[in-house]
Structure 1
Amino acid sequence: MELDENIILQIKSKLTSLSKSEKKLGEYILSHAVETVNDNTSELAKKAGVSPATVVRFCRSIGLSGFSQLKIRLYADASGGLDREIYTDITPNEDIAMIADKLALRFNQSITQTANLLETSCIEKITAMVDKSPAIYVYGIGASHVAAEDFTHKFSRIGKPVVHTLDHHLLGSSLINASKDCMFVAISNSGETNEAIKLTQIAKQNGLFTVGITQKRDSTLASIVDAPLIHHGGEAVLLRSAATTSLAAQLFTIDVLYFAYVAKHYHEIMGRLKNSKINIQTFFRKENN
């Protein structure tokens, strides 16, 4: 069952990918969300200065079945009192409570959309390969480096050898000499990061199973990997709150992958985690004495 997304943010995140007439309609709806609930297709089209066919196409372009579903979703959001300020980016001297509310709204939207985008069959395929891989190679740069580190920490703790470095030359050399049973995971929000793409190509040439974690289904990275994991990206805004929510979506994606693997080996992994915790605590306690 898909989770309900915030329709206002859903429209805002799709605006740049819409046709000129659909974008015009989307901008009108964002400015007249409450009034739109009471319009029929022809009335909305006339007010927005587009054709009725554009209304139908717009609904499909943002992932809805039709205008009726759009009105229901708009009504659900507006019924609680539509505060347009909360949908804007951070402003000068912004109230701290409002900053928290704005970010919470975007984080919730990002996680919800990512949960709806993740494909179960793809997750299962990757977890099966984690079992077979003697080592996992991971790469991410910039904000994606944080996600790559999180991946490394999680899977290393449960006994999977993970190779992770920002030095793409060193990682490239490691991939060339890696066993063909190994896995390579590239993390790139845009899916167009040159280093991530080149390393993926090296991994593929050497027979490794490749995974791409990205927000762009039509990106270069998603098109060349064996298993693309698509997450929500967020709307483009000046202060890069989209970059923040994209990172949250990446971390959520890695969490889903990690816990899906843990669920398949629950008792074995819980035993490992318990033993490692006891041994580490004992070791460092002795060191401090």
Structure 2
Amino acid sequence: MGLSAKETFAGDTEARRHPPAPGILRAKVRSLAPSMTRSMQRVAETVAADPAACAQLTVTALAHRTGTSEATVVRTARVLGYPGYRDLRLALAALAAQQQAGAAPSVTADIAVTDPLPEVVAKLAQEEQLCLSDTAAQLDTAQLEAAVAALATARRTDVYGIAASALVGQDLTQKLLRIGMLAHCHSDPHLAVTNAVQLRPGDVAIGISHSGSTVDVIEPLRVAFDQGATTVGITSRRDAPIAQYADIVLTTAPGRESELRPAAMSSRTSQLLLVDCLFIGVAQRTYDSAAPALSASYEALTHRHSAAGPRP
């Protein structure tokens, strides 16, 4: 699905005000590519894959290389946050210099069946680092602030997630519980909807879905939205279906999917980073009550383990 005229205008306006730093180009491509047309995707993915070579190309040459038009190249540059193609070329040159100076690892994130374990470890570590840095680079901190503010004052927080996203939801609810917040995680779609009906204004509902199209997550979030609760969507696509019922949308970097490593596995790393950001933000805002609650939970768990004693 292509970008609308309204979205393109908004991107152009933002580009004129705040062109992005070269280092976040890759993150922006991974985040915005799903919402671009196929021709724009080719341009975006080409410049992100080989910034050094593309920095040397004129707009006509890049259009020829990607099988697109000059207008498509310019439009892609603007959607990525640059006022024009000249600014994108400068960013590509700077990014290429950064990569050369940083001596990027030679391994890739594509794991083969025959890879020895030491190489698997290196590749996975690199992929995890990319997921985290890409998520941090493209995260809308204004949206994050809004989510933190809502959570810090919520009467109750419900979190919805299925499969791998449910594990992330459980992590978030456990963190909130330990600082005295009332939170529940629902991975059963029927219980999720049943509980969502009980929400009201002042409550918060969070739906976690990497694809943003998981019906069993969208439906309880929709019910919570209709009940007047503040709704938060955590997904890899800002234009995903889940965003229809999310007052606040927090995006993660899209995970790279391979035969041996489904996207759900790599996406969890980015989702957990978001959960940590939310938790720390809430703990900061509620420190006077959060600190004693965290200390009390720690002491209770320590006492429980001490009372159990050593195994016979």
Task: Please state which band the TM-score falls in when normalised by the shorter chain.
Answer: 0.7 to 0.9
Aligned to 1:263: 284
Distance 1:24 1:126 in 2: 34
Give yes or no for contact 2:255–2:264 (8 Å, CA) kept in 1.
yes
* Structure 1 stretch displaced more, 101-110 or 14-23: 14-23
Q: Any unmatched runs of 5+ in structure 1? A: none
* 141-150 or 10-19: bigger deviation: 10-19
Query: Is the Cα contact below 8 Å between 1:147 and 1:247 reproduced in 2?
Result: yes
Counterpart for residue 112 of structure 1: 133
Distance 2:81 2:167 in 1: 30
Per-residue deviation, 1:179: 4.5
CA contact under 8 A between 2:51 and 2:93: conserved in structure 1? Answer: no
Structure 1 residue aligned with 2:93? 71
Structure 2: 5+ residue stretches without partners: 1-19
1:174 to 195, 199, 212: 195
Q: Could you say if the C-alpha distance between residues 72 and 97 of structure 1 is closer, same or farther in structure 2, counting changes exceeding 3 Å? A: farther
Aligned AA for 1:73? L
Distance 1:282 1:136 in 2: 28
TM-score (norm 2): 0.77
Relative to the length of structure 1, the TM-score reads: 0.83
2:296 to 250, 258, 275: 275
The Cα of 1:151 is off from its aligned counterpart by 0.7
CA distance in 2 between partners of 1:10 and 1:228 (Å) = 16
Partner of 2:9: none
Instruction: Note the 1:81-230 alignment, pairs <5 A.
Output: 86-230=107-251
Kept after mapping to 2: 8 A contact 1:189/1:213:
yes
CA contact under 8 A between 2:176 and 2:183: conserved in structure 1? yes
The alignment status of 1:56 with 2:79, answered yes or no, reads no
Tell me the distance in 2 between the aligned counterparts of 1:10 and 1:109.
13
Aligned partners of 2:255 and 2:263 also within 8 Å: yes
Contact 1:55/1:67 (8 A) holds in 2: no
Cα distance 1:106–1:241, how it changes in 2: closer, same or farther (>3 A)?
Answer: farther
Percent identical among aligned pairs is: 26
Question: Could you tell me whether the CA contact under 8 Å between 1:41 and 1:67 is conserved in 2?
Answer: no
CA contact (8 A) 2:157 2:183 kept: yes
Alpha carbons of structure 1 residues 91 and 30: separation in structure 2 relative to 1, 3 Å: farther
CA RMSD of aligned residues (A): 3.1
Instruction: Please give the alpha-carbon distance, in whole angstroms, between the structure 2 residues aligned to 1:81 and 1:153.
Output: 39
Tell me the number of residue pairs that the alignment of Structure 1 and Structure 2 aligns.
Answer: 287
Q: Counterpart in 2 of 1:4?
A: 23
CA distance in 1, matches of 2:196, 2:242: 17
